[in-house]
Every structure is written in structure tokens, then in C-alpha cells.
Amino acid sequence: MNTTLQAALIQTDIAWENPEKNRLLLAEKIAALPSNTDLIVLPEMFSTGFSMQPASVAETMDGTTLAWMKTQAKEKNAAITGSIVIKEGSTEPSYHNRLLFVYPNGEVAYYDKKHSFTLAGEEKVYTAGNERKVIKYKGWRICPLICYDLRFPVWSRNTEHYDLLLYVASWPTVRVQAWDSLLKARAIENLSYTIGVNRIGLDGNNFDYSGNSACYNALGDQLAYDNSGTATTLLVALDKNSQDELRKKLNFLADRDAFTLT
């Protein structure tokens, strides 16, 4: 068990629907990370940008980008996570906004985005997920979610005693105040470290992204943050023991309400 988790939050621009260029760019950033990095977090749809043309950019679970992630994880001896467009089936294929969590040994866990961003018509071209995942890694329990999921607190409610809530996103600048506020709120209400990694730059639809990638502790204190709108890597050390002690002292989760999701 690692009581301390060294996380790297890679805030970057994304070349529109150009997986090869994005993999090359990110490989340089990953290579420059400290050798003690445990977890590397990339944005939502980091290989293509938030595309509504899944048929033209989708890969399979045997595809090039997942293979690349396995190589990066092995070389850095660190887990790497972020979402890409995944195709399943051939005759009547379905497309998924899928967060991949790749372990250093090449094993893969994944989560399919639950809440489709209807403002952009995501529900028309992507199949929504219906299962929340808690991923075990180095003694940590990690709950990975994607972008729009942030607006729905019941879905992120800490009922499985996870240690880290993690969001990967393509959250535009025009609504970034909500991103900042909700990330902090999710950390406080779930008494959990909360990480959000967002992209920067302009996408193919001319939407602007300022990043605002961040990490908060269980009290909502900001441990890392960047709203400069520039590419950067935020390094943060998370201490499980201190969070466990805080939860014993402030056992608010014991008083949480019960919800039934439909």
C-alpha cells in the first residue's frame, strides 16, 4: 500500500481529431515527469478533442491509443488515465466516451460516461454508461468520472468509501466558474481528495478552454490549480493517512442521505 500518491495532472491543448499528433505531444510531457510519479491524468477525449463524429475517430479496445497508454504506463511505472472514443460491435456499432485506467503492468479498467452532454447532442451519438466504478490502485480506492458527471452529485456520492474522486474534462471557459465551484463542492461533500483535469485551447468548433485543472483535499482546500490557459503539468502529493484521520474526526459521511438511482 502507498499511503502517499504522487499524481501528475497534464493540462494541455488537443489537436482536433488527430490522435497521432496528440500521442506524440503527450509522450513528451509524460517523459518529463518525475520518476516517482504514481498516477498520470489526461483530459477527456485526449486523443481527438470532444468530437461529435465518433465514427471517424473511434478506436477499439485493441487500438493504437490504448496500446500507447500501456507503453507509457510501463515505461513510467505509473498508472495513466484519460478518456477516448471507443467503438464496440461492427454490424451496428456503438460508440462510448470511455475513461481508460491503465496499470503499469498493462491491465486495464474502464468507466463509460454516465451523463451525456445533451447541450452538444452527445446522447445522439454516444451510448451512455450505467455503472459507476471504484478502481483499486496501490491501496487507494479511486472513483473516475467524466466532465458533465460533475454536475450530478448523487452519482458521485461517496458510498463506497473511495479515497480519490477524479474527473477528466473538456469544460469550456464560458462555464468554467461552475467547474471551479463544483469540484470544490464534490471534495467537501464526499470528504475526499478530488482531482479535475481539463484541456486548454480552441477545439474544432471554436470553443475555448482555459484549463482550471485542480486538486482539492477533503476540506476543500486547494492543493493545486492553474487557470492561466496555458499548457502545464501540476504535480501533487496525496496523503491517505491524513485523510483517514480527518474522516475519523469529522465523520460526516455516516450521516449521508440514502438515494436510489433510476
- Positions annotated as catalytic residues are 44, 113, 147
Rounded CA separation 10/231 (Å): 8
3-state helix/strand/coil string of 168-223: EECCCHHHHHHHHHHHHHHHHHHCCEEEEEECEEECCCCCEEECCEEEECCCCCEE
Whose CA is closest to 146, among 248, 255, 44?
44
C-alpha cell at 153: 452529485
Helix (H) or strand (E) holding 64: helix 64-76
Alpha helices in 122-168 (DSSP H): 122-125, 153-156
Question: What is the C-alpha separation between 72 and 80, in angstroms, rounded?
Answer: 8
Residue type, 17: E
